């Protein structure tokens, strides 16, 4: 009769007496990361604060069993159930903790943890439904208005962190995200921080479902306050400039090179220095204007032509006679040029001599214009002005020119593209947006957008082009402002997220398939065992019962192997897969592995040969993980070798590296698969008639293990002639190595072999 010894599970325990910690067991230390000496004599309130008990009910209030989150010494969230037993006579409380299986967020949502650890954008993971912080990075904390230390943020809800969310529109949005699982994105969300004032964020919320239930809420934030404030400053300065021009007490007229008036302010319309009712062009002006001495000024001596020709006019006094009598005007005028010396406009300002106040205003306007021009020229956004509807370039800032230069390397200078058509001079491909822009501007007279993809210096770049119309007094479009924003990082982050979700789907698909196969075999064998037990034919059918029992055992090994691989793959993705390095004789390690598998290889009708050019080579390695790598390669060699095949295991000393090769004479791998077989879940042979099963995790995992050692793995193969896998490990040793503890991971070599070779079909 076979006996199965069931080991009693010991739960983490916390002992409290008279509201003071009197002791904890080893399991509690392992769960929380705190040592016994750190916890003794702590009050129950201090214990509650240390563990950040994620519940409205603190430890002192827990009755019976209570589910919540606690946090370890390293601020890692653990989902537990807490059961409290009380001895009122002794005023003693005993708390039993039980961590929920497979509940750790680093395993459940590894892709989100990776983004969080990269710390490029602010990321926080909240629990659902209570919305308490479970994990957060420093980038997120930098944007939190109240809390400065990571350890202070745990046990806080989103309503504690962001004041004013409760009962707001944002609370409804979060509720809808959790309810519908639809992602929510918001640009430039304004938040009034009690400490930092108004801040603006690009924010997104997405809920993560576990087994169909909303479990986590991921909040990503990017602080865009600087960009928003800069844009608002520009907008305010532009509006301020227009308001100043329109409402200044000086009479101001702006005209272009042909003499056409483009801007007249309110004062000039109320007190015109010339009659503009019948003309909008100075060249057609016929009204009488006299100088200070009363002499008529001929058209040839008019100030407008002088300004267009490049002359400045300072304190020129004229006398105008109208129905209100004589008006003495002091005129100041000047031409305006762009950075290339081209005439942009002429400005003429008239003021009453008796007031003498408008000279300072004129200087102020010029200073504001120069300031605005300087800001635009040095913006970190592409900025250009075009005529409309011709789309000929008027001006472009440095950033805009740099963007065009990268897209169109043949551009020589700003001057070569001035006055050129946007859709003709750059590239025929640009023409595809011509109709879209023209149609949108002419019908809606609103800004329009277009995102374009470019290949620049072997890199893909995404630029969003914004076309913003400018209007004259008649609400007609006079110019188009084009702004270019590089959104490459945002697009690539989106692609990374999509790829992470795709990999997650692959995990579910592959693992679910690999779980079903051994479970079906185990279930079928179990049914047969039940049948023989009911017939009371155990002795008669002993051989068959042994066969079904072996089937069950082999498929249990397969499940253990799959679970080990998935766990280690998750650790590798999260950067948690670690090595236990020690200085070992690599020749002895490999030779022992070959000896341990020789009988199994022989039972498969194959031969295995070990050869080495050195008797001993001490290197720093993790023996257990190296054993796993070599067993995996030998297992693959067995899978794809036919009867009478040979497996060669060789060791070469190459000085700075040691090369371990595993060669077989099997079916080989096609060239098109060689660059892909180390990818996760990749299987070169996906047919149903394979010699063995597999998830495609193994080679990816051993590649990670080899690279953790600072080495590399490669493969050479030829169809029908076999494959050779080569592992190169650096021949270095470590100083002051610690005594390596004996591994608890299946010390029995037979057990290891059964697990590693479990997905090779046996013939019973």
d(CA 230, CA 233): 5
d(CA 346, CA 333): 7
Q: Which residues on adjacent β-strands are paired with residue 80? A: 68, 99
Task: Give all domains of the chain, ordered by start, each with its CATH number.
Answer: 13-99 (3.30.450.20), 105-223 (3.30.450.20), 230-377 (3.30.450.20), 382-486 (3.30.450.20), 576-756 (3.30.565.10)
Beta-strand runs (E) in 634-755? 646-653, 657-664, 712-718, 722-730
Per-residue tokens: 176: 């809808």
Q: Is the peptide bond before 522 cis (omega within 30 degrees of 0)?
A: no
d(CA 163, CA 444): 40
* pLDDT value, residue 3: 41
Measured CA to CA in angstroms, residue 143 lies from 8, 76, 165, 191, 198 at distances of 47, 21, 16, 11, 12
* pLDDT value, residue 1: 38
* pLDDT value, residue 168: 82
Nearest to 630 by CA among 668, 652, 663, 606: 663
Element (H, E) at 174: helix 169-180
Q: What is the 3-state secondary structure (H, E, C) of 375-389?
A: HHHCCCCEEEEEECC
Per-residue tokens: 699: 């080679």
pLDDT tens across 383-413, in order?
888 888 778 888 888 888 887 777 777 777 7
* pLDDT value, residue 265: 87
Other C-beta atoms within 10 Å of 242: how many? 12
Q: What is the pTM (predicted TM-score) of this model?
A: 0.36
Exposure string of 181-219, with b = 16+ CB inside 10 Å and e = fewer, is eeebeeeeeebeeeeeeebbbbbbbbbbeeeeebbbbbb
d(CA 163, CA 16): 35
Per-residue tokens: 223: 């602080």
Element (H, E) at 67: strand 64-71
Cβ(122)–Cβ(140) below 8 Å: yes
Exposure string of 603-630, with b = 16+ CB inside 10 Å and e = fewer, is ebebebebebeeeebebbbbbbbbbbbb
Count of all residues that appear for the chain in the document? 764
Beta-strand runs (E) in 487-640? 582-585, 607-612, 618-621
* pLDDT value, residue 517: 61
Q: Which residues contact 206 (CB under 8 A, 6 or more apart)?
A: 177, 183, 184, 217, 218
Per-residue tokens: 285: 């002006």
What residues of the chain score a pLDDT lower than 50?
1-7, 277-281, 283-287, 298-301, 355-362, 428-429, 431-432, 682, 684-696, 743-747, 761, 763-764
Q: Which residues on adjacent β-strands are paired with residue 435? A: none
d(CA 83, CA 63): 7
Q: In sequence order, which ranges of 261-388 are alpha helices (DSSP H)?
A: 266-270, 303-308, 358-377
Checking DSSP bridges between strand 646-653 and strand 607-612, what pairing results, if any? parallel
Backbone angles phi, psi at 203, to 5 degrees: -130, 145
d(CA 369, CA 337): 12
Per-residue tokens: 539: 């002795």
d(CA 384, CA 483): 7
Per-residue tokens: 265: 């302010």
Q: What is the 3-state secondary structure (H, E, C) of 439-456?
A: HHHHHCCCCEEEEEEEEE
d(CA 50, CA 40): 12
DSSP for 77-117, please give it. EEEEEEEEEEETTTTEEEEEEEEPTT--HHHHTHHHHHHHH
Q: Which residues contact 675 (CB under 8 A, 6 or more apart)?
A: none
Backbone angles phi, psi at 138, to 5 degrees: -65, -35
Nearest to 632 by CA among 582, 659, 672, 597: 597
* pLDDT value, residue 539: 63
* pLDDT value, residue 646: 93
Cβ(34)–Cβ(25) below 8 Å: no
Cβ(138)–Cβ(116) below 8 Å: no
d(CA 708, CA 299): 87
């Amino acid at each position: 009769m076979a006996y199965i010894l069931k080991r009693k599970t010991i739960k983490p325990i916390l002992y409290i007496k008279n509201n003071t910690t009197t002791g904890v067991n080893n399991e509690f230390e392992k769960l929380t990361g705190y040592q016994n000496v750190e916890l003794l004599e702590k009050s129950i309130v201090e214990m509650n604060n240390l563990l950040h008990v994620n519940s409205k009910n603190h430890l002192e209030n827990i009755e019976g069993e209570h589910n919540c989150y606690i946090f370890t010494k390293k601020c890692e969230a653990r989902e537990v159930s807490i059961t409290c037993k009380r001895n009122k006579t002794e005023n003693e409380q005993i708390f039993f903790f039980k961590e929920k299986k497979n509940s750790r967020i680093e395993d459940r949502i590894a892709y989100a943890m990776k983004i969080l650890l990269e710390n490029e954008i602010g990321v926080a993971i909240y629990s659902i439904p209570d919305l308490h912080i479970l994990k957060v990075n420093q980038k997120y904390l930098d944007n939190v208005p109240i809390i400065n230390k990571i350890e202070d943020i745990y046990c806080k809800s989103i309503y504690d962190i962001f004041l004013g969310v409760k009962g707001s529109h944002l609370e409804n949005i979060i509720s809808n995200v959790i309810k519908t699982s639809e992602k929510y994105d918001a640009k430039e969300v304004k938040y009034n921080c009690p400490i930092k004032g108004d801040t603006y964020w690009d924010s997104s919320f997405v809920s993560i479902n576990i087994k169909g239930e909303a479990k986590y809420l991921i909040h990503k934030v990017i602080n865009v306050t600087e960009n928003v404030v800069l844009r608002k400053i520009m907008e305010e300065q532009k509006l301020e400039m227009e308001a100043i021009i329109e409402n200044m007490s000086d009479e101001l007229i702006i005209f272009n090179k042909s003499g056409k008036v483009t801007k007249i302010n309110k004062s000039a319309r109320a007190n015109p220095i010339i009659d503009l009712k019948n003309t909008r062009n100075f060249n057609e002006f016929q009204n009488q204007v006299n100088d200070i001495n009363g002499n008529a000024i001929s058209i040839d001596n008019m100030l407008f032509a002088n300004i267009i020709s490049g002359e400045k006019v300072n304190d020129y006094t004229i006398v105008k006679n109208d129905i209100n009598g004589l008006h003495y005007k002091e005129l100041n005028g000047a031409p305006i040029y762009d950075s290339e010396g081209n005439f942009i406009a002429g400005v003429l300002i008239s003021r009453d001599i008796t007031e003498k106040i408008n000279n300072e205003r004129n200087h102020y306007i010029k200073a504001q214009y120069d300031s605005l021009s300087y800001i635009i020229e040095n913006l970190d956004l592409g900025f250009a002005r075009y005529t409309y509807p011709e789309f000929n370039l008027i001006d472009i800032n440095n950033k805009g020119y740099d963007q065009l230069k990268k897209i169109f390397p043949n551009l020589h200078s700003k001057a070569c593209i001035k006055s050129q058509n946007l859709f003709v001079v750059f590239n025929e491909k640009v023409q595809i947006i011509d109709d879209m822009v023209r149609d949108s501007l002419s019908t809606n007279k609103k800004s329009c957008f277009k995102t374009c993809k470019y290949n620049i210096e072997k890199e893909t770049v995404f630029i969003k082009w914004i076309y913003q119309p400018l209007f004259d007094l008649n609400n007609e479009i006079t110019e188009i402002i084009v702004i270019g924003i590089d959104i490459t990082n945002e697009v690539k982050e989106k692609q990374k997220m999509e790829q992470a979700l795709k990999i997650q789907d692959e995990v579910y698909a592959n693992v679910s398939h690999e779980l079903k196969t051994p479970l079906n075999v185990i279930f079928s064998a179990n049914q047969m065992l039940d049948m023989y037990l009911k017939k009371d034919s155990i002795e008669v059918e002993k051989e068959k019962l042994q066969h079904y029992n072996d089937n069950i055992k082999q498929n249990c090994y397969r499940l253990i192997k799959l679970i080990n691989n998935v766990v280690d793959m998750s650790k590798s993705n999260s950067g948690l897969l670690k090595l236990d390095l020690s200085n070992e004789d690599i020749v002895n390690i490999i030779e022992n592995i070959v000896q341990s598998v020789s009988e199994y290889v022989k039972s498969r009708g194959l031969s295995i040969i070990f050869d080495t050019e050195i008797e001993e080579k001490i290197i720093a390695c993790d023996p257990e993980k190296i054993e796993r790598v070599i067993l995996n390669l030998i297992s693959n060699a067995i899978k794809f070798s036919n009867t009478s095949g040979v497996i060669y295991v060789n060791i070469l000393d190459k000085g700075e590296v040691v090369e371990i090769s595993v060669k077989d004479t099997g079916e080989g791998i096609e060239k098109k698969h060689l660059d892909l077989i180390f990818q996760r879940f990749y299987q070169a042979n996906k047919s149903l008639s394979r010699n063995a099963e597999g998830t495609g995790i193994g080679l990816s995992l051993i590649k990670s293990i080899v690279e953790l050692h600072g080495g590399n793995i490669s493969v050479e193969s030829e169809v029908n002639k076999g494959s050779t896998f080569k592992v190169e490990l650096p021949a270095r040793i470590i100083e002051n190595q610690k005594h390596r503890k004996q591994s608890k991971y299946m010390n029995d070599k037979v057990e290891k072999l059964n697990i590693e070779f479990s997905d090779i079909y046996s013939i019973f």
